[in-house]
Amino acid sequence: MSNATIVTARGKVFDYLKPHSYEYDIYDISHSLSNICRFAGNTSAFYSVAQHSVIVARLVAALDPHLAKMAILHDAAEAFMNDMPSPLKKLFPGFSEIEDNILTAVFKHFDVEPTPDTVISKIVKHYDRAVGIAEMRDLFNGCNPYSDKLSCEAVEVPPICPLPPRVANELFLRVFFQICDGKFH
């Protein structure tokens, strides 16, 4: 075993050097994402990556159901790496490469069709960005220093009400299995 490992909530050993040989478990992913707060915890209330992923997946599914599984899993690598804020991520170029390797392995494990342009479809990225803008609108007590720099055309995101981790975990799993028609249950 390498020194680049962690143990998941369900007791499995994940090796950062071998993400493609890992047997991914949606329960581990959901548990972890529901306990990770977006924006390095700087929101007005705890708001999980799992809830964010559900919102993105629901919006994407309404447009293109074939991309819904990619959308619910678009941040799945964060279950193993945490949610690093984008400005900080840009300072560590190797981080994004590791994240892409893990995400590619997760997508392969859960039969998510790859896109020709990037790991994550441009449509999913567009909706991810739109949800991020709505999160800033709703979770920063009206303070958004980036409002003049951020825009996302033609996406209406309903108001976001943060859920406790346990509820976000249950919701993530319910939506995941609805998307997959129970295939991984």
Enclosing H/E stretch for 29: helix 26-34
pLDDT value at position 114?
A: 73
* Model confidence band, residue 183 (pLDDT cutoffs 50, 70, 90): low
Average confidence (pLDDT) over 154-177? 94
Cβ-based burial of 127 (10 A; exposed 0-12, middle 13-18, buried ≥19) = buried
Average confidence (pLDDT) over 29-57? 97
Which pTM value belongs to this model?
0.91
Greater model confidence, 86 or 37: 37
Domain ranges of the chain: 5-180
Distance CA 56, CA 73 (A): 10
Residue 31 in tokens = 């548990």
Residue 143 confidence (pLDDT) above 70: no
pLDDT in tens, 52-88: 999 999 999 998 899 999 999 999 999 999 999 888 9
Average confidence (pLDDT) over 146-164? 75
- Give me the helices (H) in 35-160, please: 49-63, 68-72, 78-81, 86-89, 93-109, 122-139
From first CA to last CA, the distance across the chain in angstroms is 29
Top CATH class of 5-180 equals mainly alpha
Q: What is the mean pLDDT of the chain?
A: 89
Greater model confidence, 113 or 1: 113
